[in-house]
Structure 1
Amino acid sequence: MDTYITQEVTKERALLVGISSLPQLTRSVAEEYLNELELLADTAGAEVVSRVIQERKQKDPAWFLGRGKVEEMEHLIKGGLIDIVIFDDDLSPVQARNLERVFGCKVLDRTELILQIFATRAQSAQAKMQVELAQLEYLLPRLTRLWTHLSKQKGGIGTKGPGETQIETDRRLVRKRISFLKKKLRDVALQHATQTKERGEIPRVALVGYTNAGKSTLMNRLCPNTGAYAEDRLFATLDTKTRRLQLKINKVVLLSDTVGFIRKLPHRLVESFRSTLDEVLQADFLLHVIDSSHEGFEEQIRIVTETLQEIGVEHTNIINVFNKVDAVEDKEALRSLRQKYPEALFVSAKRGINLGVLKDAIGDYISRDYRLRTLRTHISNYKLIGYLYDHTEVIGKKYVDEDVILKYRAHYRNLKQIDARIAAVEKESSHVA
């Protein structure tokens, strides 16, 4: 009889730490922030076993928390129940170094945790380079933490220790790698710009929103066979995916699903993913997907708006799409939400509720950029007539003697190409005549 030994992957046991500073940050809000941090920790593969919130007016420059709270946590950690401590705020290199020495375990801040999640989620070469760049820029001022095992001699002329020498060497290597990655990402951005030009002048729509608001699920519903990865976890997808969304005959838009935003999204990540977020900058308008079932959806709306401003999105061509309406148990609250946001759309991507209304709204929105034209041509110009049927929305046809009069709508970006085709056919017809 064969015996199979299975080894379970044990999760790291995490302690979450936050600060409540009245009156700006109440304890209830701090608890809500730790709930999100717990989701991040779960996404990273940790099991949260304990949480600590300390009320402080100011963060201690050496310890982040008060010295007494640090000693209290030290006893808990050294009891063997904790493998990793995760702070909901950014730690300075000094704070992180001091805490690691006292706790004797790994200490992460929010930025480092998000960077690690992005590193495990990145699939494409571009996303991997973007994450590596953000990690190295984060790591550069913290390199001393990595070389504490090397000896350091006391100061004095000619007494520079090997530890310091190694740190300087490593800093040069990191800076060199950062420069290399920035150049590669500029090349990728240039290549991406060339590829997007080849898409023609099709209107573009980008899905934006807080992470886990349901953007990928919505895209899969609107564009069947899209294959956009969707999971009930934060940052389920990092790579921008673009698909064609057919609205009506010859009325098509390119729909892009982008990386989700989050509270305190590290600035380095925003900078690194700027080329990925170009889809947002180049979009004709945005669909802001909002999780209507989340208690803090209004703060999430604010965070997304601020992040869009940070990457340079200035236009106001945004449709608010409240998703997950099926998960809202309080129907009175949902009615109040509709009254507060009368221009918004309310859908459920999971259950397919009101998706037809959403597609119609997208069609109506891009119709603003369509122009109405009329063409009278001889019925023998069947190639030109067929071209208009293939590339425009023909809304009327009338025969007069041996001519046909076509009324059609086309996006203003395509008119130059269409007019050139008509002029070429008319010139050819005049020569034949």
Structure 2
Amino acid sequence: MRFSTVRWLHCASTPKLLSSGFPPPFAFLKTGKACPDIISQTLRSFTTGSDKAHEIISDLVNDSSEEYSFAREYLRIPGTKQRLFLVQPRIKYGPRRNMLTTSALQAAENTTLVETLGWEIADTITLPVASLDSPHIFGSGNFAMLQETIRSGAAKGISGIFLGANILNNMQMKAFRDAFHLPIYDRYRIVLEIFRSHARTREAKLQVALAELPYLRSVFRAADGDSSGIQPQSASSSGQTWIGLRKQLIQDRESKIRKELERIRAQRSLNRQTRTKNEIPSIAIVGYTNCGKTSIIKALTNDSNLVPENKLFATLDVTSHAGQLPNNITALYIDTIGFISDIPTMLIASFAAVLEEITVADVIVHVRDISHPDTKSQKETVLQQLKELNLPERLLSNVIEVCNKCDQISNLETVKKEIVPEEDALFTSAVTGEGLYALRERMEEVLLENSGLTEKSFRVPQSGKELSWLYREGHVHFAEADPTDSEFLIVHVTISPSALARYVHEFKKAVYLDRKSMRAARVRTPKPEA
């Protein structure tokens, strides 16, 4: 089975497609008709997969079968450029009001979301609301004013209306469609379309396919309660309705997608076990979308394959990039999907396999766009969503705060005085390189604390096997001549507890120096059990 994610399927029973570019609400439901090296190996493991798996995923993501085209027809947004009228709700009071931002900044972000698709906002209006749960969202007076604004020609030439709210329920969607006779979009729909257009890998496409299913379910709930008087006809000898069969189809599809995602998750788990076995630490780089995560990783690793893009949700897949810390430890920097405010948990849950990489990282670095006017609200959004991932306390309490893009701030010293004392943040610029070495040092410090790695200085003979062993099994910072005996070296190493135990077992007379006091201390080998 294949279903197209790129074709807009025209249905002969819905002629309004030609005039509006979008199917009338639930038209297809009413007719009942369907439309026609270890590091290198670790890095490669993030993207490789069998040809058979590729074929299975392709079938799930690219299904153009007659049985499923009804769903694609509803979800498919026309490929032509759209001009939307943005209606930005401003919550007046209550727990859902965000005190760290403004409706103007929220409208600006919604405009950026639309522009990411190559569309445009024809005009914007901000209206106060008491609650986003009422059927018309806005009060009767404001709703009537909105109708008059659009009918009077102030929004001439628009192809749809964008409600800058999280996700509209069925009643709200129907009320707006009935009032304006135009396609209605919410943030979920717009973000979902961005995800679909940016998805490149098989896993990302599967996750997008999973994220769109809740929308389809809402369509059927609305169709069941449609007041048009047109009832879906029975489609099987058992008496199951056409809509009932389609609901079952979506349920079956969800089961298949989740099964395939679970297979990918199992492969990721196996890859992590390999990293753990080879003692390769990972550093997850997280942050609000378009905060500069990829740019920071590129600056830290000099990875020429990374191409940062100045757009929302440029990264949908987990990618890893090797780089060295000051103590010569090779770590994998994990580039993750960006967070965003006012997105339902079911969309985030669809990317659970990707976000799982954050929960098992050794260090988490939170990158902020300190030049953004909404940086405080963005920070709270990221921290809240990190908490919802149920991170281990050792990770959550040691998140490294990075204020990126400091080269774009004219009053940098003033901003530093406001932020650093309270948040112990580091200021960086991926463009100028400012603060990057300090960031490496902070990551090294937190890594030692979180992972159990220790720093030791070993006294080894120049002609012995100990030196090559330490280079092979540990992370050697540097070696220097022993001032008390020229036949020995002092080797400064970061080493794991397991490697240290192996070293002690291998070299019975091993000697290491306490790096703080530099006093010799002979390692005692445990006595064998009786």
* Pairwise TM-score range, normalised by the shorter structure: 0.7 to 0.9
Q: 1:41 Cα shift? A: 0.9
356-365 or 202-211: bigger deviation: 356-365
Q: 1:192 aligns with which of 257, 268, 271?
A: 268
Structure 2 Cα separation of the partners of residues 70 and 219 of structure 1: 47
- Inter-partner Cα distance in structure 1 for 2:176 and 2:407: 44
Query: Which residue of the other structure, out of 485, 501, 517, is the alignment partner of 1:419?
Result: 501
Distance in structure 1 (CA, Å) of the matches to 2:107 and 2:196: 22
After superposition, residues 324-403 of structure 1 pair within 5 angstroms as 324-331=405-412, 333-341=414-422, 343-368=424-449, 369-373=452-456, 381-382=464-465, 384-390=466-472, 391-393=474-476, 395=479, 398=482
Instruction: Report deviation, 1:262.
Output: 0.8
- Normalising by structure 1, what TM-score? 0.84
Q: Deviations over 1:154-200 (max 9, x none)?
A: 6xxxxx63599221111100111111111111111111010122122
2:390 alignment partner in structure 1: 312
- Structure 1 residues 420 and 21 mapped into 2: Cα distance closer, same or farther (>3 Å)? closer
Q: What secondary structure sits across from 1:54 in the alignment?
A: strand
Amino acid at match of 1:14: L
Unaligned runs of 5+ in 1: 1-8, 155-159, 428-433
Structure 1 contact 372–407 (Cα < 8 Å) conserved: no
Q: Specify the SS of the correspondent of 2:200.
A: coil
Distance 1:222 1:205 in 2: 12
Equivalent residues in 2 for 1:14-163, closer than 5 Å? 14-23=84-93, 25=97, 29-59=102-132, 61-74=134-147, 77=150, 79=153, 80-89=156-165, 90-143=167-220, 153=230, 161-162=233-234
C-alpha RMSD over aligned residues = 3.2
TM-score, reference length from structure 2:
0.70
Deviations 1:44-85 (A, max 9, x none): 222001112222323473322334544544455565521111
> For 1:318 and 1:246, how far apart are their aligned partners in 2?
19
Displacement of 1:419: 3.2
Cα–Cα, structure 1 residues 153 and 371, in superposed 2: closer, same or farther, change >3 Å?
closer
1:221-266 CA-to-partner distances (Å, cap 9, x unmatched) read: 1111253342221111111111111124642222111111111122
- Aligned pair in 2 of structure 1 residues 40, 380: CA closer, same or farther (>3 Å)? same
- In the TM superposition, what are the counterparts of 1:297-308 in structure 2 within 5 Å? 297-308=375-386
Q: Secondary structure at 2:102's aligned position in 1?
A: helix
**Contact persistence 1:204–1:255 (CA under 8 A):** yes
Gaps of 5+ in 2: 1-78, 510-530
Deviates more, 1:210-219 or 1:241-250: 241-250
Q: Are 1:280 and 2:280 counterparts?
A: no
Task: Return the alpha-carbon distance in structure 1 between the equivalents of residues 322 and 133 of structure 2.
Answer: 52
- Give the superposition deviation at 1:291: 1.0
Please tell me whether the aligned partners of residues 375 and 407 of structure 1 are also in contact (alpha carbons under 8 angstroms).
yes
Aligned with residue 494 of structure 2, among 388, 403, 410: 410
1:350/1:392 Cα in 2 relative to 1: closer, same or farther (>3 Å)?
closer
Equivalent residue number for residue 157 of structure 1: none
Match of 1:214 in 2: 292
Aligned residues: 411
Conserved in 2, the CA contact under 8 Å of 1:152 and 1:161?
no
CA–CA separation in structure 2 for the residues paired with 1:354 and 1:59: 43
Which range is displaced more, 368-377 or 276-285?
Answer: 368-377
Contact 1:216 1:257 in 2 (8 A): yes
* Secondary structure in 2 matching 1:230: coil
Q: What is the rounded CA distance, in whole Å, between the counterparts of 1:329 and 1:128 in structure 2?
A: 41
Give the corresponding residue for 1:291: 369
